[in-house]
Amino acid sequence: MTWWAELYDELLAEHLLVRAEGEVEPTLDFLVERLDIAPGSRVFDQCCGIGSLAVPLAARGFDLVGVDQAASYIERARADARTAGVAAEFVAADACDYAPAKPVDAVFNWWTSFGYGSDAENQRMLDRAFDALRPGGRFALDTMNLPGVLRGFRRDTVTRRTTPLGEVLLVRETSVDLAEGRMLKDWTYFVDGKFATRHHSSVRLYLPDTIVAMLRAAGFHDIDLYGDLSGGPLHLDSPRCILLARRPS
């Protein structure tokens, strides 16, 4: 079993994937503008999780299809779509292998869902994004800004959140394997003060220029980099690394 199959459980969903009020709308505004889409456009959410972005985007009138490896997350996304009264398609599958049968107008991969596997596996995920697009369609990839992360490296992070499962305390202990180029984390959860579970993650560390090269290898053109949702340029202190690319017409 891959490490991410165990990591993405209900505790992570409640603690990190249920987004705070006001957090989703700026992301949707950025995607709509930068992907150059309008209501009715067909959009593919690659690694959609519980549908935190896909469901509200569908509520804006977009034709959404989302994929995620966690079957329980897909079931939750489907249920939330029904509750919201919107039509959206959700598929439980490996995003490295899956592309919708019908081409889409835009693809996005958000909140550091890229880089979990080997270089070959990570390249396949970008290839599938390219395959999913109609000619001229755009792809947005949101990941960590590696130079900024290393510059302000924090070994330990503790977050607390009240959830339907109880008060969840999450301790993330981080290290960097420079020889392998990976960020390693131990995730320890406590629910209502009692130890619940511990998981491990290992994410590939890519400098922005390397991701640009991978996008080009997938066939993308017109690659732009941003540092935040305002569309500001990428620099050392940018909170994120957002890449926008286009499939040639």
Question: Do 101 and 107 meet the contact criterion of CB atoms below 8 Å apart?
Answer: no
Domain count, the chain: 2
The residues, ordered by sequence, that sit 6+ positions from 91 with a Cβ below 8 Å of its Cβ are 65, 66, 67, 74, 98
In this prediction the pTM is: 0.97
**CB-based burial of residue 33 (10 Å sphere; 0-12 exposed, 13-18 middle, 19+ buried)?**
exposed
Asked if residue 218 and residue 116 are part of one domain, the reply reads yes
48 pLDDT band (50/70/90 cuts)? very high
Asked if residue 98 and residue 19 are part of one domain, the reply reads yes
Report the alpha-carbon distance of residue 239 to residue 241 in Å, rounded.
Answer: 7
Asked if residue 181 and residue 63 are part of one domain, the reply reads no
Asked if residue 240 and residue 119 are part of one domain, the reply reads yes
- For residue 197, the enclosing domain spans 151-203
141 pLDDT band (50/70/90 cuts)? very high
φ, ψ at 99 (rounded to 5°): -140, 140
Asked if residue 123 and residue 69 are part of one domain, the reply reads yes
Per-residue pLDDT at 208 exceeds 90: yes
Asked if residue 223 and residue 184 are part of one domain, the reply reads no
What is the CATH classification number for the domain harbouring 136? 3.40.50.150
Asked if residue 17 and residue 104 are part of one domain, the reply reads yes
Report the alpha-carbon distance of residue 183 to residue 243 in Å, rounded.
Answer: 20
Asked if residue 174 and residue 135 are part of one domain, the reply reads no
Phi/psi-derived region of residue 234, left when phi > 0, alpha when psi is between -120 and 50, beta in every other case = beta
Task: Give the residue carrying structure tokens 């020889």.
Answer: 179
Asked if residue 163 and residue 61 are part of one domain, the reply reads no
pLDDT confidence of residue 1:
76
pLDDT confidence of residue 166:
98
The residues, ordered by sequence, that sit 6+ positions from 150 with a Cβ below 8 Å of its Cβ are 176
Span 2-39, pLDDT tens digits: 999 999 999 999 999 999 878 999 999 999 999 999 99
Asked if residue 187 and residue 236 are part of one domain, the reply reads no
pLDDT confidence of residue 249:
96
Residue of 212, 190, 210, 203 lying closest to 139 (CA atoms): 212
Report the alpha-carbon distance of residue 77 to residue 16 in Å, rounded.
Answer: 15
Asked if residue 143 and residue 156 are part of one domain, the reply reads no
Asked if residue 159 and residue 62 are part of one domain, the reply reads no
Helix 119-132 to helix 208-218 angle, to the nearest 10 degrees?
50
